[in-house]
């Protein structure tokens, strides 16, 4: 073999032995000195090149088991894969394995962590455990449940390609829900949650309401502008909304009224047990027809003032039950000269309960629905909540009422009867009338609209109703009544 051939051959061998790549470097360090000496010998006696090569190279690959992790762990013989991933843990990249590991038995080539796993990680990553609440995996010392301690092709050494996939290993996120929260659909778990620790429940990155308002700015501004704010909207959005996903629009945990009942148990009691129920209270989504879910300028978070709200439905005939109809409220009051006090004050709840009642027409107290009724003060509790009971208990008076003939109280005469007393509705319109004292033009009597034909005078008046002969009354000059 010529000298030129020898040099070419040696350069090839020296490239393998003396100029290894980074992984090979540690492995060949312990034979470097021997190789250099052999090289000098080969250059002097080239004819022995092949023999010496066959003797040396097998020996180079038959070194003893490594006893120092710092020099040999990341070689091609042992843990070469650790340095091949896209992201390499600092100590691994530096070949400084003893930062985390210590020798158990050099002969058996066994190692253990220098301290417990969570304590070990905290030595460097102490900033991840400062919150009051710890991620369960972190709390029990299982950092490797989420992170590969050596290297990974995923950022932060995650054991899954994405954060969302990692979270789903433990957390069953509602991906099958009909409606998904934006960050969930975008698989951005860490937009709302801290991975390791937090001072807030559920590892939130900030206080619950503050977190929601960081995106829902319009709602935040509404709460500032309006006087009446729904309590959950102030601090606990999750009382009504599922933060991840739901089968109901607006990510509601349930449809109303079921959603509302856990807090409004009194309304649930009324809705389920009242003899007469407002239909919207029991229908799906009905609560939101009258109430706003977040805030309002009107008490009880109503969508409008009570009168406007009520007339949004009662501006037309409304069916009640199977075959009954309530006439249009607006038709009853529009253009009328005299409005009943609560109507004039736009205060429907002066007489009605909005959700349900044991009384006819959702009234707050008893009020006979028929033309005739046996007299009892209990029958007229609704009227007596404003008007004195003495109106129907006092036979003779000179001041209780203008409806008297001399001092004969004609309210007493009509109402206070043991059997067929006339009820208030026999003469008075409930909401409004063009006649003073809300006297009706006519009154339903079965299928007949019984006319009243009331006329007022300076000191009294009279009527020509279908229920009796024409009668007049006068406070100053009493009319003498004669039986036919």
- Where is pLDDT greater, at 140 or 354? 354
pLDDT, one tens digit per residue, over 436-478 is 999 999 999 989 999 999 999 999 999 999 888 899 999 999 9
**Quick check: 268 and 257 in contact, CB under 8 A?**
yes
* pLDDT, mean of residues 75-100: 85
CA 443, 445, 449, 451 torsion-angle sign: negative
364 inside domain: no
Helix, strand or coil, per DSSP, at residue 341:
helix
* pLDDT, mean of residues 82-94: 89
pLDDT, one tens digit per residue, over 148-164 is 999 999 999 999 999 99
pLDDT, one tens digit per residue, over 406-439 is 999 999 999 999 989 999 999 999 999 999 999 9
Q: Does one domain contain both 196 and 101?
A: no
208 inside domain: yes
479 inside domain: no
Q: Does one domain contain both 274 and 243?
A: no
Domain-terminating residue out of 338, 364, 381:
338
Q: Give the model's pLDDT for residue 68.
A: 55
Q: Give the model's pLDDT for residue 20.
A: 38
138 inside domain: no
H/E stretch holding 104: strand 101-105
pLDDT, one tens digit per residue, over 325-366 is 899 999 999 999 999 999 999 999 999 999 999 999 999 999
**Quick check: 179 and 245 in contact, CB under 8 A?**
yes
**Quick check: 239 and 233 in contact, CB under 8 A?**
no
Helix, strand or coil, per DSSP, at residue 398:
coil
* pLDDT, mean of residues 79-83: 83
% of the chain exceeding 90 in pLDDT: 65
134 inside domain: no
Q: Give the model's pLDDT for residue 319.
A: 87
Q: Which two tokens stand for residue 246?
A: 């739901």
Per the prediction, the chain carries an average pLDDT of 85
Q: Give the model's pLDDT for residue 103.
A: 87
Say which residue the tokens 């050099």 belong to.
Answer: 106
Q: Give the model's pLDDT for residue 78.
A: 78
Helix, strand or coil, per DSSP, at residue 96:
coil
Q: Give the model's pLDDT for residue 484.
A: 63
**Domain count of the fold of the chain:** 4
Q: Above 80 in pLDDT, residue 30?
A: no
Least confident of 52-56, 182-186, 281-285, 382-386: 52-56
Q: Does one domain contain both 387 and 437?
A: yes
Half-sphere exposure of 216 (CA within 13 A, CB side): 19
367 inside domain: no
Q: Does one domain contain both 207 and 287?
A: no
Q: Above 80 in pLDDT, residue 9?
A: no
pLDDT, one tens digit per residue, over 298-308 is 999 999 999 99
Q: Give the model's pLDDT for residue 324.
A: 85
Q: Above 80 in pLDDT, residue 483?
A: no
Q: Above 80 in pLDDT, residue 370?
A: yes
Q: Give the model's pLDDT for residue 471.
A: 93
Q: Which two tokens stand for residue 417?
A: 């009867």
Q: Does one domain contain both 105 and 11?
A: yes
Q: Does one domain contain both 65 and 21?
A: yes
Q: Does one domain contain both 397 and 300?
A: no
Domain-terminating residue out of 338, 361, 395:
338
* pLDDT, mean of residues 137-158: 91
How many CB atoms are located within 10 Å of the residue 337 CB?
9
Q: Give the model's pLDDT for residue 414.
A: 95
pLDDT, one tens digit per residue, over 259-277 is 999 999 999 999 999 999 9
Rounded CA separation 423/415 (Å): 6
Q: Give the model's pLDDT for residue 323.
A: 77
H/E stretch holding 220: helix 217-225
Rounded CA separation 365/21 (Å): 95
Helix axes 49-60, 32-44, angle to 10 degrees: 170
Rounded CA separation 196/126 (Å): 11
137 inside domain: no
**Quick check: 401 and 461 in contact, CB under 8 A?**
no
Tell me the pLDDT band of 76, cut-offs 50, 70 and 90: low
Q: Residue 226: which domain range?
A: 160-251
Rounded CA separation 339/355 (Å): 24
Q: Give the model's pLDDT for residue 14.
A: 37
Domain-terminating residue out of 113, 145, 173:
113
* Chain centroid offset of residue 78 CA: 53
349 inside domain: no
CB crowding 233-252: b at 16 or more within 10 Å, else e:
beeebbebbbbbbbebeebb
Tell me the pLDDT band of 89, cut-offs 50, 70 and 90: very high
Q: Above 50 in pLDDT, residue 74?
A: yes
pLDDT, one tens digit per residue, over 197-249 is 999 999 999 999 899 999 999 999 989 999 999 999 998 999 999 999 999 99
Q: Give the model's pLDDT for residue 383.
A: 96
Q: Above 50 in pLDDT, residue 34?
A: no
pTM: predicted TM-score of the whole model, two decimal places:
0.72
* pLDDT, mean of residues 20-30: 38
pLDDT, one tens digit per residue, over 172-183 is 877 789 999 999
Q: Above 70 in pLDDT, residue 111?
A: yes
* pLDDT, mean of residues 118-139: 88
Q: Does one domain contain both 95 and 54?
A: yes
């Amino acid at each position: 073999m010529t000298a030129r051939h020898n040099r070419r051959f040696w350069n090839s061998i020296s490239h393998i032995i003396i100029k290894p790549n980074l992984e090979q470097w540690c492995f060949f360090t312990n034979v470097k000195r021997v190789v250099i000496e052999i090289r000098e010998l080969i250059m002097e006696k080239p004819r022995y090149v092949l023999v010496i090569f066959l003797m040396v190279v097998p020996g180079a690959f038959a070194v003893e088991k490594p006893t120092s992790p710092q020099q040999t762990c990341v070689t091609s013989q042992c843990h070469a894969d650790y340095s091949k991933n896209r992201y390499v843990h600092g100590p691994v990249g530096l070949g400084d394995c003893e930062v985390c590991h210590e020798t158990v038995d050099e002969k058996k080539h066994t190692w253990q962590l220098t301290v417990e796993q969570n304590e070990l990680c905290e030595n460097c990553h102490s900033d991840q455990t400062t919150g009051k609440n710890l991620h369960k995996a972190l709390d029990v010392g299982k950092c490797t449940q989420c992170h590969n301690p050596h290297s990974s092709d995923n950022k932060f050494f995650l054991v899954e390609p994405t954060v969302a996939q990692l979270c789903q290993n433990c957390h069953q996120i509602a991906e099958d829900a009909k409606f998904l929260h934006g960050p969930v659909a975008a698989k951005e778990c860490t937009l709302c949650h801290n991975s390791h620790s937090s001072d807030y429940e559920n590892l939130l990155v900030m206080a619950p309401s503050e977190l929601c308002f960081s995106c829902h700015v319009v709602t935040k501004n509404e709460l500032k502008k309006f006087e009446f704010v729904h309590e959950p909207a102030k601090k606990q959005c999750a009382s009504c909304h599922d933060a991840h996903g739901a089968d109901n629009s607006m990510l509601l945990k349930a449809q109303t009224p079921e959603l509302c009942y856990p807090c409004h148990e009194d309304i649930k009691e009324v809705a389920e047990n009242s003899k007469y129920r407002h239909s919207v209270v029991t229908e799906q989504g009905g609560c939101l027809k009258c109430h706003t879910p977040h805030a309002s300028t009107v008490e009880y978070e109503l969508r409008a003032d009570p009168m406007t709200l009520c007339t949004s439905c009662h501006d037309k005939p409304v069916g009640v039950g199977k075959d009954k109809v309530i006439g249009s409220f607006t038709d009853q009051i529009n253009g009328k000269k005299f409005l009943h006090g609560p109507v004039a004050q736009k205060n429907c709840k002066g007489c009605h309960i909005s959700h349900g009642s044991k009384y006819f027409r959702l009234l707050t107290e008893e009020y006979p629905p028929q033309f005739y009724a046996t007299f009892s003060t209990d029958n007229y509790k609704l009227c007596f909540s404003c008007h004195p009971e003495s109106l129907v208990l006092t036979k003779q008076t000179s001041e209780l009422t203008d409806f008297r003939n001399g001092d004969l109280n004609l309210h007493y005469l009509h109402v206070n009867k043991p059997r067929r007393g006339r009820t208030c509705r026999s003469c008075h319109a409930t909401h409004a009338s063009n006649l003073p004292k809300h006297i009706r033009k006519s009154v339903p009597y079965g299928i007949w609209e019984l006319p009243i034909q009331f006329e007022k005078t300076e000191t009294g008046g009279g009527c020509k109703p279908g229920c009796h002969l024409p009668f007049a009354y006068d406070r100053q000059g009493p009319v003498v009544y004669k039986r036919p």
